[in-house]
Chains A and B, each alone.
Chain A
Amino acid sequence: MLSYIALNGSLGTGFKETSLERGVAHGAAFIGADSGSTDGGPYYLGSGAWIWSDRAYERDLGLGLAAAHRLGVPLIIGTCGGGGGDAAVDGYAAMVDRLATEHGFAVRVACVQSEVDRRLLVDKYRSGKLRPLPGAPALDEATLQLPGHVVAMAGAEPIQDALALGADVVLLGRCADAAIFAAIPLAEGYDPGPVWNAAKIVECGSAAAENRKGQDSMLCTFDDDGFVLEPLDPDLRCTPNSVAAHTLYETADPYRLTMPSGTLDARTATYEALDERRVRVRGGTFAPSDAYTAKLEGAAPVGYLSSFWGSVRDPVILRQLPSWCASLREQIGARLSATWGEDYHLDLKVYGANGTTGEATEAVPREAVIVFDLVGATQEDASGMARAAYHVGLHWPVPEWRAGSITTFAHPYSAPVVDRGQVYRFTLNHAMVIDDADERRAVFRTTVHELGRR
């Protein structure tokens, strides 16, 4: 039998201390948490900024670290910072050092960093070893050389390598969420089908439980008959329906999960209530792939953004909003070109009319907010252009109001333009073929650090 604890679905979003306590009392072979996400767009990978705050991460990490230390088992954290860049792994190691020192114990920390050498990318591209995944953008050598960050997503193997070095804590750059929870059960010889199916479900913490109010921890226990899921908050319960329903969440294919070493097919999985709050899962198969691959993610800067927004309530403007916006856009373009040339991007999004979906619609809203976005080569350019556009928009004429000047939108802030810093674009959605274990270790570079109280 082998149990493990998933702290929550995103390190730094919290869990109940009492839930983790229940998990520790039960016993576990390791504790894991995913810290990554592409939900928030390319900013986090592109900039290296972390999604949540240092205090939020330290709270979850400190509790997880202390619990793993008490149990004498590994703590595995995937996709440090959110984007999984190399610097975030170093930053998490510094946090672990501080926290372990505070708690008064020493830890051996393995850092697995996987920003990819651009020369390797070009070699792989030339030898046809970068395979496009569904929806992938077009790729060329220039794209591979863009600034920003490119990361390779670790599967279970780099985690197993790190644990073989005697690590108490494994901190990974970009890592498949499920790999965090599959590495040890696979190494212990459990059937890869159920192992990957379990890992795919628990990587969101207690999200597979019913009526969840917030993030919390989940216990997963393997035996010879599959695995059992149990939310660690006694007020939460897993049902066959809640678990099966969770398998749909934020995945394009509800059954298949492709990992570096093969693909899970969960179509044969069955979900059975063990009691009111525990579910036993059986089945699922894992088919090894011919080639070992690592998914690549890349984000590159596209410029600096400045924005402002204005709310329109005048029914006369609203009933001609699309044409009014089109003429305004043209006028802003003329105004900007006269001073800044053509090196900019202007976007008007009309939330309240069709901004959310971008659909064509004849419907006249009762109120609408126009978001004006200006992207330029520098923040100074973007900000200057946004301020110029603001002035054009604020007094853009309405044909019916013909006797004099008009003010066309409301906004709540003095100094309406917000400078939003650099913006980024996802550049890659490809699988890179890795030739052998040596190359895998060169891509997923592992270093060991003795941290905390020495």
Chain B
Amino acid sequence: MTDVSRYCTLVRSKDAGPFMLTLDFFFVDAAAREALVPFLSPERIGELYGVDAASVEVYELRDINALKISFPRRVVSGDLGDTDITGGQQYALVVEMIEGLDLP
């Protein structure tokens, strides 16, 4: 069990346009970033969010100890069956995954 706030000062999700979802991670420091980045690979995120790993883009912003991950939405925003129009609560899955890690 890991307290996510010991590693991240902010984890959030949001639509990047109606067709894409984006996750932002702001880490406490470089050590926290380096500890978590291996768990935030396209494969891992693809599996967690049910999307093809090849469609997952990861951007590391080392200057500000941040990471951005973008991928197509499961359902286009507002389409029949969508449950989260702004994508604002989709970060929950990755927070749950991080909290389940056995980190020092």
Contact among A249, A252, A426 with B76 in the assembled complex (CB-CB below 8 Å): A426
Q: Indicate if B63 sits at the interface (CB-CB under 8 A).
A: yes
Q: Indicate if A339 sits at the interface (CB-CB under 8 A).
A: no
With A357-B92, A357-B93 as known contacts, state yes or no: A429 contacts B80, CB within 8 Å.
no
Residues 358-384 of A contacting B (Cβ, < 8 Å): 358-359, 373, 375
Closest beta carbon of chain A to B60's beta carbon, Å: 10
Docked-complex contact A245 and B59, CB < 8 angstroms = no
User: Using an 8 Å CB-CB cutoff, how does the interface string of A317-359 with B read, 1 for contact, 0 for none?
Assistant: 0000000000000000000000000000101010100011111
Number of A-B contacts (CB under 8 A): 107
Chain B residues whose C-beta falls within 8 Å of the C-beta of A426 in the assembled complex: 18-19, 76-79
With A355-B83, A425-B79 as known contacts, state yes or no: A41 contacts B61, CB within 8 Å.
no
Expressed in whole angstroms, the Cα–Cα distance for A38 and B76 within the complex equals 11
Docked-complex contact B64 and A425, CB < 8 angstroms = no
Docked-complex contact B85 and A134, CB < 8 angstroms = no
Q: Which residue of the partner chain B has the closest CB to A242?
A: B64
User: Using an 8 Å CB-CB cutoff, how does the interface string of A239-262 with B read, 1 for contact, 0 for none?
Assistant: 001001100111111110000000
Expressed in whole angstroms, the Cα–Cα distance for A42 and B79 within the complex equals 8
Residue among A134, A302, A349 with the most chain B CB within 10 A? A134
Q: Which residue of the partner chain B has the closest CB to A297?
A: B18
Interface of A is mostly: loop
With A345-B80, A424-B78 as known contacts, state yes or no: A250 contacts B64, CB within 8 Å.
no
User: Using an 8 Å CB-CB cutoff, how does the interface string of B1-45 with A read, 1 for contact, 0 for none?
Assistant: 000000000000011111110101010000000000000000000
Docked-complex contact A425 and B15, CB < 8 angstroms = no
Docked-complex contact A359 and B93, CB < 8 angstroms = yes
Expressed in whole angstroms, the Cα–Cα distance for A273 and B16 within the complex equals 29
User: Using an 8 Å CB-CB cutoff, how does the interface string of B73-102 with A read, 1 for contact, 0 for none?
Assistant: 111111111111110011011000000000
Contact among A42, A345, A359 with B18 in the assembled complex (CB-CB below 8 Å): A42
Q: Indicate if A137 sits at the interface (CB-CB under 8 A).
A: yes
With A40-B85, A252-B57, A356-B89 as known contacts, state yes or no: A375 contacts B19, CB within 8 Å.
no
Closest beta carbon of chain B to A375's beta carbon, Å: 6
Docked-complex contact B72 and A135, CB < 8 angstroms = yes
Interface residues on chain A, number (Cβ under 8 Å):
39
Chain A residues whose C-beta falls within 8 Å of the C-beta of B24 in the assembled complex: 248-249
Chain B residues whose C-beta falls within 8 Å of the C-beta of A241 in the assembled complex: 64
Q: Which residue of the partner chain A has the closest CB to B17?
A: A38
Q: Indicate if A136 sits at the interface (CB-CB under 8 A).
A: yes
Closest beta carbon of chain A to B27's beta carbon, Å: 12
Closest beta carbon of chain A to B37's beta carbon, Å: 15
Expressed in whole angstroms, the Cα–Cα distance for A213 and B51 within the complex equals 35
Chain B residues whose C-beta falls within 8 Å of the C-beta of A375 in the assembled complex: 80
Chain A residues whose C-beta falls within 8 Å of the C-beta of B92 in the assembled complex: 356-357
Docked-complex contact A249 and B14, CB < 8 angstroms = yes
Expressed in whole angstroms, the Cα–Cα distance for A47 and B84 within the complex equals 20
Closest beta carbon of chain B to A108's beta carbon, Å: 34
Q: Which residue of the partner chain B has the closest CB to A241?
A: B64
7 CB-based A-B contacts, threshold 8 Å = A135-B76, A248-B24, A248-B66, A249-B24, A251-B22, A357-B89, A358-B74
Contact residues of B with A, CB < 8 Å?
14-20, 22, 24, 26, 57, 59, 61, 63-64, 66, 68, 70, 72-86, 89-90, 92-93
Going nearest first, the 8 A-B pairs with the smallest beta carbon separation are: A41-B78, A135-B19, A252-B70, A252-B16, A135-B72, A41-B85, A42-B78, A252-B20
Given contacts A252-B57, A252-B70, 15 further A-B pairs with CB under 8 A are A39-B15, A134-B19, A135-B19, A245-B64, A250-B15, A250-B22, A252-B20, A253-B59, A254-B61, A254-B68, A347-B80, A347-B81, A351-B83, A359-B93, A425-B78
